[in-house]
Amino acid sequence: MTFKKNAILSILLAVAVLMMTMPLAGCESKWTLSDTDNKTLQGLPSQFSEISQAYQILQQYYVNNQALDTTKLLQGAIKGMVAAVGDNYTVYFPPQVYQSTEIEYTGVYQGIGAYIGEKDNQIIILGTIPSSPAEAAGIKSGDIILKIDGQSTAQMTSDEASLKIRGQAGTKVALTLGRKDVKDPIELSLTRSEITEASVISEMHGQIAYIRITQFILPTTNDFKQALQDSIDKGAKGIILDLRGNPGGILDQAVDVASQFLLRGIVVKVVDKDGKESVFKVRPGGLALNMPLIVLVDGGSASASEIVAGALQDNGRAKLAGSQTFGKASVQNIIRLEDGGALKVTVAHYYTPNGKMISGTGLTPDYPSDLKDQDLLNWAIDYLNKIIAQEPAPAATK
């Protein structure tokens, strides 16, 4: 019993002294316990001994103590500790969960193809992937997920909800949704499939290039640069960058994308727990430094997509059109534990180049509009054509 008790206590205390190396969302730093860390563990608050006491009480008094699963107890304790932080974006992933979460940034996974987030203590849909089960079922950005397989989401984080929605291709998941202006909940049964996400989608509309980024994942920079160069080669004279329904992703990819349109300046400022500011400057070699540009955003544009939009807006490079963005101004690190699990930890907050902190408020478009989907795209095409022709820009109609 002493060995199990010490193992649980050591790992729990180790979690409390994790060290992070880079303030980048999606960047992983493998943590290991060094001799220095072992010494640090001895200096933790004495209250942590209560974890050991609780474990001993269960072993001694619980009626079915032979069935106690040490691994489950350990993972439950870590999960509870992390939840007590009170930050919905700081989450513990057990080993089996992290293995499925890890592939998210590659663009291939099994699920329904919907991006979700948290706002006002609700789990909401930020967007859907083209040709996915979610899109086919008519799920829309802004829908509220009320239940997953009959279980209320009231106490779930967005990561927990996402993991419940994901599953083996061919299996089903039931969602209960709330939708603005729809009185009764919407009941859906969806069949999961393998989702292969193209994070960059592009097409030409006459002399206007339309490029949509669905999420900032590992292939995004290369795919975006290729789409941008192809559009230029096809004679594009204006660009629509569509970030609607984009939940964010890897910070480094966002800096790369913004740099394709900026000659110099700042993309984003990141401030860590000690108040230390890291400035991410424009990276040289942008492909479209002077071409007319409009950026489309909505309430599903979050995190890394807000970094790109905010950088282009603050640097005076592009106007934003659409609706208020989500307002997620924090940066997370994914830090692996020795047992194969991981912590996703909020390590910093970010500010736009002009110093705006948009957490909870989002970015305000230069051209506010209630136009949706193709209607806003058509407006953007007209906007750019008039800019190219040096005519007055059209008003964004409601």
What's the one-letter identity of residue 167?
G
Q: Residue 189: enclosing H or E segment and its boundaries?
A: strand 186-191
Rg (CA), the chain: 23
The residues annotated as belonging to the active site are 303, 314, 328
Strands 293-297 and 319-322: parallel
Contact predicate 365/306, CB 8 Å: no
Angle at 32 between CA 98 and CA 8, to 5 degrees: 75
CA distances from 206 to 8, 360, 381 (A): 63, 38, 9
What token pair was written down for 28?
A: 């992983």
Contact predicate 248/25, CB 8 Å: yes
Residue 139's nearest CA partner among 156, 120, 126 is 126
Residue 48 DSSP class: G
User: What contacts 394, CB < 8 A, 6 or more positions away?
Assistant: 379, 382, 383, 386
Distance, CA of 88 to CA of 155 (rounded, Å): 11
Cα dihedral 383, 388, 390, 393, rounded to 10, equals 10
Distance, CA of 120 to CA of 123 (rounded, Å): 9
Residue 126's nearest CA partner among 381, 287, 328, 265 is 328
